[in-house]
Amino acid sequence: MENCFDIEEINETIADLIDDHILVCDIEGQIVFSNKAIQSYLGYTDSELKRRNFLDFIADIHMNKAGSFIKSVSEEPSDWEEFLFRGKHNVLKLHLRFLRKKDLIYIYGNEKYVEYERIRKKLDVEIANAIKIHRRSLPVSLPDTKNISFASLYIPAEELGGDLFDAFKVDNGLLDDYFEQYVCYTADVSGHGLDSAMLAMFVKDTIRSFFRLKHIPGQVLSPKEIMHFFIEQYIKEGYPGEYLVCLFIVVFDFKTNELTYCNAGFHICPLLIKDEENIIELNNAGLPISTAINADLLKYEDSSLHLLPTMTLFIMSDGLPEQRSNNEAYEDRLKKLFAEIYSLKPADIVRRIHEDFTDFLRYEKIKDDITLVVVKLLQALN
């Protein structure tokens, strides 16, 4: 024997179990149903609400607005609107939406939704501001001199990225005429959301602080010292152990004719191309930086190479070579492309890589932040 269920009773029971405030009216605004949530909120029983007009419970100040909503209601839900109700014991505020289905008007709301919307809009504003701040933390321009030229490609996986890079000529004050040094670094913070972007900006601020607080004009610059200064500040801040910071720092010194670098955690090693037969991986890499790792293990050393005319350096985060399309990683294709175009100007190299990567990507979504910095020596050295 089949069970007979009263669907209307089931629906009413469900409506009474939820927190939403629900009123159902006919097209004239007469209340035909109210759930327990709104009965409790207003202080009226079901019988006190039923067959009364919706407008009977609206405060005078919102009477015209409520009447307009009843007359203009459509099958598209209205926006949230605030109304003051005449409760049984006092005036109460509710945010409601209106929807018409056939000959019934559904009026519903939940202050939790309104609070959620308020928080969401506040977060949207904060994230929009964070995006602006993060974009401003990226360099507007990179050094381009008779000796050296930099160019970059940056594509965040989301609106906010966890990658950061910069390159700048070191200010040696009154000794500038005797020294020509350039610092370039790339940072890759785990994740690519708001927290990662904020931490990436901490990387930039801390490295800049090194040159304000520790750098002595004319001194031989050590990437290792910059790295250890950053780690000291990072540990002081007490960042959670689940965050990892990979940081590659390189110094070009035209007085000593040396390229010196220090690598904390970049497993995609920078490539240095002297010519087609001399492609070197700068593979002396240490651990990534994290407060979860014993500080004694966060020790790094400098590695140095002589600067050679027209050498080209490619520094990248793992987002570019590890991006996949049609079950293939871009890494092998990228390395072949490097060997073909390394002799071009950095800006042209970046343009060619961007075009090729777009062709490779097709319609795949970018999985991780993409950062590439290309550095090229432009003339014979003294």
C-alpha dihedral (186, 206, 140, 168), degrees to nearest 10: -70
Element (H, E) at 183: strand 181-189
- Whole-Å CA distances, 178 to 33, 67, 150, 255: 86, 80, 22, 8
**Residues 6+ away with beta carbon under 8 Å from 104:** 24, 25, 26, 27, 32
Element (H, E) at 182: strand 181-189
Residue 382 confidence (pLDDT):
47
Q: Give which of 40, 43, 72, 66 is closest to 53, Cα–Cα.
A: 66
- Whole-Å CA distances, 52 to 20, 26, 88, 103: 20, 11, 14, 17
Q: Pick left, alpha or beta for residue 238 (phi over 0 → left; psi -120 to 50 → alpha; otherwise beta).
A: left
Q: Count the alpha carbons within 13 Å of 263 in the hemisphere toward its beta carbon.
A: 18
**Residues 6+ away with beta carbon under 8 Å from 317:** 163, 186, 188, 246, 266, 268, 368, 369, 370, 371, 372
CA distance 216 to 251: 15
Residue 379 confidence (pLDDT):
66
Q: Give which of 182, 185, 186 is closest to 144, Cα–Cα.
A: 182
Residue 135 confidence (pLDDT):
77
User: Domains in the chain, please, with CATH?
Assistant: 7-109 (3.30.450.20), 135-377 (3.60.40.10)
Alpha helices, DSSP H only, in 53-152? 63-72, 111-137
Q: Give which of 258, 247, 354 is closest to 311, Cα–Cα.
A: 258
Sign of the torsion angle spanned by Cα atoms 226, 231, 236, 239: positive
Token pair, residue 74, equals 């459509």
Letter for the amino acid at 19? D
Residue 5 confidence (pLDDT):
67
CA distance 246 to 263: 8
CA R_g for the chain? 32
Per-residue pLDDT of the chain (382 residues; tens, 9 = 90+): 455 667 778 788 888 888 899 999 999 999 999 999 999 999 999 999 998 999 999 999 999 999 999 999 999 999 889 999 999 999 999 999 999 999 999 999 887 877 788 888 888 887 777 777 777 778 889 999 999 999 999 988 876 677 889 999 999 888 887 889 999 999 998 866 677 888 888 999 999 999 999 988 888 899 999 999 999 999 999 988 889 999 999 999 999 999 999 999 999 899 999 887 788 999 888 999 999 999 889 999 999 999 988 899 999 999 899 999 988 999 999 999 999 999 999 999 999 999 999 999 888 888 888 999 999 998 644 4
Predicted model pTM: 0.72
Alpha helices, DSSP H only, in 73-222? 111-137, 194-213
